[in-house]
Structure 1
Amino acid sequence: MSAARAALRIARRSAWRSRGRSALIMVMIGLPVLVITAILTFIATATVSGREGLVAELGAADARLMQAPAGTVLRQEPNGASWDTSGEAAAPERDVAEVAALLGPGTRLIPFNAGALRLGAGRVDALETDLRDPLTRGMLTLTEGRFPSVGEVAVTPTSGLRPGDLLRSPGAAPLTVVGVVEHPHRPSLRQVVGPDLPLLPLDGFWSPGEYGTGWLADTPEPVTWADVPALNTAGLYVTSRAMILDSPGAPVRSFPSEVQNTVGLGAMVIMVVLEIVLLAGPAFAVGLRRRRRELAEIAAQGGSAGHLRMIVLADGLVLGGAAALVATVLGIGAGALATPIAARWGGQAGPVDVPWTPVLGVAALGLIAGIAAALVPAVQAARQDTVSVLAGRGPATADRPGWPLAGAALVLAGLAATVVARRQPGTLWVWAAAVLVMIGLVVLTPWLVRFTGRAATRLRLPLRVSVRDAVRHRSRTASAVAAVMAVTATVVAVGIGAQSEYLDRRNAYTSARPTGMLAIWGGTMSDGAWGDLRAETARRLPGVPLVAGYQARDTQGRRYALRYTVRWNGIRTRRSAAIGDQALLRLLQGRHDPRAAAALASGKAVVFDAAAVRDGKLTLRAGSTSGPARKLEVPAVLATPADEHQGGALLPRALVEQAGFATAERQLYAMHRLPADSTLWHDLTEVTPRVKVAFEEGYRQVPSPGLWSWLVGALVLVVGGTLAATGLASADMRPERSTMTAIGAPPGTLRMIVAGQALYISGLGASVGMVAGTVTGVALSRPMTTHGAGDPATLAIPWPFMIAVVVGLPVLATVVALIPRARPSLAPRRL
């Protein structure tokens, strides 16, 4: 029998004999593999490609064409599409005959209009098409009832309706529900489908995939990319079967992108392997401690140092391979099962898709990490003194003098790289530098354990015994401390970066209106239509004071917007200046400001952006979708707005009229909050569809709850790694515990010794990790919060999160270590 085969058999038998330790090692190795595999499978399954979604997109049709609004310039290309709704060249709207003529003789078209339907106080997505037509076959699956005809609708399951129910849309005849249909890939879709629906007007909003008027086409010849430019010129957005099947692959990435992706992948691989090795390493060390006599007997019978190394490495191969295999299977299953469940809550799900290349790469990574975790114990096994082990004496631990210097050099190199990476765009290079710092600290950890162990003489007996034992077994302790350090550093860095980004976004928030202001805007309309809209608004908002705003027009009646550009929190922001009187100024300031009121009355602009006023002037650009642009310079004064993050400007009517424009009332403002079930917008659209209603909510975003999910992950890794190390310490300290029991030490003292190991390991790892993570987090804050040259970085420390990680986790690990009762043992001691 070959030595390798014998080593594998010994490893398999040892793993089965110590099932608890083997399960712990497999969990430590397999958990990251399972999570990453599940995420990869979930993303691949939830991503519906054009080919996979072809039937749901087009049914049995050859193409779908959506009519763009007048004034829209379309341009479709194989790698994307663009459209500009402010174009001057307006393609006329096409009827069915004209569209059919563009596609050639023999073309058959059926309506396909996507929009919204008003139901009570809300609205629901609606699709106006005939599901009985063969062209729509496969777009929606019938699960109950039948497909609708004229005056009937089908609904998706999330609507809560069943066949026989009635849908009542204001101003239209009731619609009878006759069927329940489901989208093949979007089970959470809430939609009403029928051949004749009272769709709401688009009100200028158009999206070729969601809203718009169009047709499904059965064409004699496939609609290819060569046909697209002519159809775009005719104002038609095209989606065809031939285009989807002939879509090119992903565009070729540039060299810098390739380098960044390679660096990012390498950094991720190093961090994953490092964490697995540090977590599973103590568990392999447990096996080495318990098998030391077995290995010594093999050596005594002629086994070489290479044979001993092979046996211990075989443990890593067997357990790492089994963990990777089981985790890969479970990860694929978890990702495949989670996708349709998640799709029920939103999103989409396609056929089960496993990205085999990255999945197998992750499995191989787990196998390599298992072997790497067993590497240090294998080297220790090869170097053990056979005579000392057989005599029952513990091995002596010696440090290599060059390792602390190498670790310090790596840390200094990583810090220098962090300083350079902080100035680079993106966070990738910062993380790459952090990996270098982390490796250096891992190399330094045995020296840190020995250095901090000098304070043991000043501690009470249980803690003194714990720290001295940790120092005596530095190989075991350093691995656990480094694992805690790596987790803490990563979580602290993410916390600082995320909090800095949140604070930067909060500071970047700006609005031209104070919080709590209701705004109603009328578009291009006659004075009579505006009068009706104003009267309806007053009727719908009884007792609410309404303040007028005005619209600028030139002599030809073309509407103009008066805008200026200002930098806010480092970002170029374009604002529209309002036109109004003293009443509107009082609303914008939230009080009466005599100085600002006097400036407005004298014909000056009142500006709330300090950077926009230069030498007492405000530079404006008057722009129109149908007229030439103009540049204006008007006298201006600075004033204080109602809110801290409020900007904007208010122009008096006289100033605008002196610039050659006419003014017409087309806006209404009020400090009024609408109830949640308000139907004001729907009520006003019945007067005219050219109305918009907006309410300024203020900054509503809260810090990401995902930050605390990192704390949960750190909790599992820190507490799990610490308990694994304390379990090893408890096994190694059996002779010391026997001696203490013999001289009368109570069980509480024995528990305090084990808990002291947990406190020392987690406390030292968290302290070092906090320092390393803070350095990386500060470096991350710059690329995450800067938006160009001259924009200062935003730095924020999430103190509750930091305290929970750096203080809370070690305390929790210590408390958990106190729970098991340390049973006194009277193991014999060999002298």
Structure 2
Amino acid sequence: MSAVAAALRIARRTAWRSRGRSALIMVMIGLPVLVITTLLTLTETMSVTPREGLTAELGAADVRLVQTPAGTELQQQPGGASWRTDGEKTAPRTAAEVTALLGPGTRLIPFGTGVLRLDGERVEALETDLRDPLTRGMLTLSEGRLPATGEVAVTPALGLRPGDLLRPSGAAPLTVTGVVEHPHLPSLKRVVGPDIPVETPDELWSPHHYGTGWLADTPKPVTWADVPALNKAGLAVTSRVTLTDPANAPVRASDLGARQAVGLGAMVIMVVLETVVLAGPAFAVGLRRRRRELAEIAAQGGSARHLRTIVLADGLVLGGTATLVATALGIGAGTLGAPIVARWGGRVGPPEVPWPPVLGVAALGLLAGLVAALVPAVQAARQDTATVLAGRAPATADRPGWPLAGAVLVLAGLGATVVARRQPDSMWVSASAVPILLGLVALTPWLIGRTGRPAARLWLPLRVSVRDAVRHRSRTASAVAAVMAVTATVVAVGIGAHSAYTDQRDAYTSARPTGMLAIWGGSMGDATWNRLRAEAERLLPGVPLTAGHQVRDAEGHRYALRYTVRWNGIRKRRTVVVGDRDLLRLLQGRDDPRAAAALASGKAVVFDAAAVRNGRLALRAGSTGGPPRKLEVPAVVATPADEHQGGALLPRALVERSGFSTVERQLYAMHRLPADSTLGRDLTRVVPRVTVASEEGYRNLPEPGLWGWLAGALVLVVGGTLAATRLASADMGPERAAMSAVGAPPRTLRAVVAGQALYISGLGALVGLAAGTVTGVALSRPMTTHGAGDPATIAVPWPFVIAVVVGLPVLATAAALVTRVRTPVTRRLV
């Protein structure tokens, strides 16, 4: 039998005998492989290519055509589409004209997408006949039957069943006859029917979005050569041939760019480093337990190379098994999890596994197992056989070159961090953290050695623990480095994420104070508005309603008056309101005589000081029907009700002097609607085009993911610390036996073991805090700046940092304190 085969057999048997330690190593190695493989498989399965989504897009048709809005000139090319909206306005095409463009023998069916208004809310709608063969495969019937005239089918996300009624605003009720499922969008909420009142939203138009059009069965394929003529006719084209054209495929570079290469290299180093420092103490435990076994092999003729092979075989067996199991579980979790994740939002395609990156991750896990076993393998080859067989601890010596190399790496990493902080991408900061961590790992034995001197002033159990840790610093360094790496990573992510959250919170802005209710009417006559206002007063008894006004030109086109201002480093576009002193009082939350006097004199009252220059406010008047205009108005700056509030109020006289007219079409009130309010639904019964909005202020929760990081750090830090503490307890067998012999009670022995846990986790957490703070502060700049002149937001989540740096060591110490400690019976050869 060869030496390698014998080593693998010994490793397999040892792993089975020490199942707890083997499971710990496999979890440490396999967890990163499992997470990354799951994410890769999930992402690949949830990516739907144009070829995979062909049936859902076109059914059995050859082409889909959407009419562009009047005045839109569209140009579609294999690399994308471009359009402008100031072209010549033409009449919409008829079905006969489209048939003539596509050639004799073409068959068309209507196919329009938009929204359906249901009780004040909008739901995606598709107007087509699902019974037609051209729509086969677009939606799959799961319950009931396909709809006919006056009927609709719905997707499961709407929660309706056959027999239910839909009541569109301003239209006859529709009966639900079936439930249909989209092949790639399980969370889609859509209503489908052959004659439903579809509305096109007011959002900017883009190809393949909302609009009316047709599905076509053509006598010949519609190629890219046919697209320009159809675009010129005002039609956006989605063709079966163009979707499957290789020219549509995304361009893939033959080699990775600098940014991708640096990011990939940093990820590989970090994954291997984290795995090695976490699994390293567990491998060291195995080596300490097998020192006598390895010494006996050496005494019977085993060479240093044989001992290295035996220990490396542990890494190969455990790393290979962990990688194999984690890869299989990751593929299964990604495949099975894609449909579940897609129900919360997103697409899902056929199960796919990106084999090249998955196999690369598996190879990375196997490499991490071998590297984690490398240092114990070298130590096994260097151990003194006679010393081990005599039951004495082997002596270890520091390598004088390691502290210098570690200091150089730390300084290089700090310099790189200073440079990377100025880059717009946070990836460079993450990459610069790698040499800092590597340097601290190399410096850890030196740091441990410097902590031995203050131990003389400590309580006896802690003094014994610290001195033992210093004496066996090769064993202690791996555990301290593991805690340090985890703490640094978690603290850096915590500071970066909290800074980004704080920046988003500070960037929040509104044109209305928190608690204000707004009711906006669209294009309607005075009589309809009067009915709407009367209904609002009836539904809100005792709530004072203040009027706002809509701006129109001489032809009746609606205009919005806007200005641009920089808020928290980001350019914001504000829409001003038109009203009187009552509305000003609501916007300021109090009476302000100075602002009221300015408003009465015909000046704008502005709540963004940066928008007013030389006492003037520059406005742009925009409309979907009329030409845009620019104007400047006199303005004064006032204080709003809320600190995050901006916007401006213009008096009606000022707007009318600028060549516009005003009509009352808005209502405002300081009133909070209850959660079950049906105000919007009730008002749409008067007129469909009405909007109800409540200003609730900034509502996002503060960084909930940070505490998920804390949970992960809890598992890694406590697990790594307890593994190292178990190793220390095994190594301190003779010392504990001596202490017991001179009368030390069991609680003192437990305190010694707990002191080891406190020392390892405490020192690692302190060093990790320093490294993580540097990286976290550097991360905050690219994560919170939005262009030149925007200062970085740096915010430290103190409760989170304290929980990591103080709470985790305390928890690890408490876990070690309740661990059962046995008093060993030792035998020495003298």
Please state whether the residue corresponding to 1:667 is helix, strand or coil: strand
Question: For 1:93-172, what aligned pairs fall within 5 Å after superposition?
Answer: 93-119=92-118, 124-169=123-168, 172=171
Question: For 1:625-704, what aligned pairs fall within 5 Å after superposition?
Answer: 625=624, 627-685=626-684, 690-704=689-703
Residues 120, 680 of structure 2: 8 Å contact kept: no
Please state whether the residue corresponding to 1:109 is helix, strand or coil: strand
Looking at structure 2, the residues matched to 299 and 265 of structure 1 have their Cα atoms a distance apart, in angstroms, of: 42
Match of 2:786 in 1: 787
Match of 1:711 in 2: 710
C-alpha distance after superposition, 1:293-347 (max 9, x if no partner): 2322333333332232222222212221121111111111111121222233433
Match of 1:742 in 2: 741
Looking at structure 2, the residues matched to 240 and 682 of structure 1 have their Cα atoms a distance apart, in angstroms, of: 40
The 3 A distance-change label for structure 1 pair 703 and 225 is: farther
Which amino acid is 2:67 matched to?
Q
Looking at structure 2, the residues matched to 424 and 492 of structure 1 have their Cα atoms a distance apart, in angstroms, of: 21
Please state whether the residue corresponding to 1:591 is helix, strand or coil: coil
C-alpha distance after superposition, 1:241-266 (max 9, x if no partner): 212211533235699x8211111111
Please state whether the residue corresponding to 1:379 is helix, strand or coil: helix
Residue 435 (structure 1) aligned with residue 434 (structure 2): yes
Looking at structure 1, the residues matched to 100 and 532 of structure 2 have their Cα atoms a distance apart, in angstroms, of: 42
Give the drift of 1:215. 2.2
Root-mean-square deviation (CA, aligned residues, Å) is 2.6
Residue 37 (structure 1) aligned with residue 28 (structure 2): no
Match of 1:472 in 2: 471
Which amino acid is 2:811 matched to?
L
Residue 314 (structure 1) aligned with residue 313 (structure 2): yes
Deviates more, 1:750-759 or 1:480-489: 750-759
Match of 1:353 in 2: 352
C-alpha distance after superposition, 1:144-184 (max 9, x if no partner): 33323233333333444444444455655554443332222
Residue 25 (structure 1) aligned with residue 25 (structure 2): yes
The 3 A distance-change label for structure 1 pair 612 and 123 is: closer
The 3 A distance-change label for structure 1 pair 93 and 707 is: farther
Which amino acid is 2:16 matched to?
W
C-alpha distance after superposition, 1:611-662 (max 9, x if no partner): 1222222233344455554443332211101110111122222223333333
Give the drift of 1:818. 2.0
Give the drift of 1:382. 1.7
Give the drift of 1:208. 5.8
C-alpha distance after superposition, 1:25-69 (max 9, x if no partner): 111111111111111111111222222222222221112223344
C-alpha distance after superposition, 1:664-690 (max 9, x if no partner): 334332223344444544555555555
Please state whether the residue corresponding to 1:226 is helix, strand or coil: coil
Give the drift of 1:270. 0.5
Give the drift of 1:190. 3.6
Please state whether the residue corresponding to 1:469 is helix, strand or coil: helix
Question: For 1:296-695, what aligned pairs fall within 5 Å after superposition?
Answer: 296-527=295-526, 530-531=529-530, 533-625=532-624, 627-685=626-684, 690-695=689-694
Looking at structure 2, the residues matched to 233 and 431 of structure 1 have their Cα atoms a distance apart, in angstroms, of: 49
Which amino acid is 2:595 matched to?
A
The 3 A distance-change label for structure 1 pair 19 and 541 is: closer
Which amino acid is 1:105 matched to?
P
Residues 390, 828 of structure 2: 8 Å contact kept: no
Match of 2:62 in 1: 62
Residues 778, 795 of structure 1: 8 Å contact kept: yes
Which amino acid is 1:619 matched to?
A
Looking at structure 1, the residues matched to 764 and 422 of structure 2 have their Cα atoms a distance apart, in angstroms, of: 29
Give the drift of 1:276. 0.5
C-alpha distance after superposition, 1:503-554 (max 9, x if no partner): 1111111122222223333445555555555455445544433323334444
Residues 91, 233 of structure 1: 8 Å contact kept: no
Question: For 1:54-93, what aligned pairs fall within 5 Å after superposition?
Answer: 54-81=54-81, 87=86, 89-93=88-92
The 3 A distance-change label for structure 1 pair 672 and 103 is: farther
C-alpha distance after superposition, 1:719-764 (max 9, x if no partner): 1111111111122122222222222322222222221111111111
Residues 67, 236 of structure 1: 8 Å contact kept: yes
Match of 2:16 in 1: 16
Give the drift of 1:803. 0.9
Which amino acid is 1:397 matched to?
T
Deviates more, 1:514-523 or 1:720-729: 514-523
Looking at structure 2, the residues matched to 473 and 288 of structure 1 have their Cα atoms a distance apart, in angstroms, of: 14
Please state whether the residue corresponding to 1:66 is helix, strand or coil: strand
Looking at structure 2, the residues matched to 627 and 173 of structure 1 have their Cα atoms a distance apart, in angstroms, of: 33
Match of 1:260 in 2: 259
Match of 2:727 in 1: 728
The 3 A distance-change label for structure 1 pair 175 and 216 is: same
Looking at structure 1, the residues matched to 199 and 138 of structure 2 have their Cα atoms a distance apart, in angstroms, of: 23
C-alpha distance after superposition, 1:211-254 (max 9, x if no partner): 43232221122222333333334333332221221153323569
Question: For 1:42-53, what aligned pairs fall within 5 Å after superposition?
Answer: 42-53=42-53
Looking at structure 1, the residues matched to 627 and 186 of structure 2 have their Cα atoms a distance apart, in angstroms, of: 49
Looking at structure 1, the residues matched to 189 and 601 of structure 2 have their Cα atoms a distance apart, in angstroms, of: 55
Question: For 1:285-300, what aligned pairs fall within 5 Å after superposition?
Answer: 285-300=284-299
Residues 170, 688 of structure 2: 8 Å contact kept: no
Give the drift of 1:576. 2.5
The 3 A distance-change label for structure 1 pair 88 and 653 is: farther
Match of 1:223 in 2: 222
TM norm structure 2: 0.94
Match of 1:273 in 2: 272
The 3 A distance-change label for structure 1 pair 823 and 301 is: closer
Between the aligned residues of both structures, percent identity stands at 76
Which sections of structure 2, spanning at least 5 residues, go unmatched? none
C-alpha distance after superposition, 1:560-616 (max 9, x if no partner): 433322211111222223222212211211111001111111222211111122222
Please state whether the residue corresponding to 1:825 is helix, strand or coil: coil
Please state whether the residue corresponding to 1:225 is helix, strand or coil: coil
Give the drift of 1:487. 0.7
Residues 92, 234 of structure 1: 8 Å contact kept: no
Match of 2:769 in 1: 770
Looking at structure 2, the residues matched to 571 and 455 of structure 1 have their Cα atoms a distance apart, in angstroms, of: 52
Residues 87, 625 of structure 1: 8 Å contact kept: no
Match of 2:6 in 1: 6
Looking at structure 1, the residues matched to 423 and 620 of structure 2 have their Cα atoms a distance apart, in angstroms, of: 35
Which amino acid is 2:44 matched to?
A
Residues 135, 218 of structure 1: 8 Å contact kept: yes
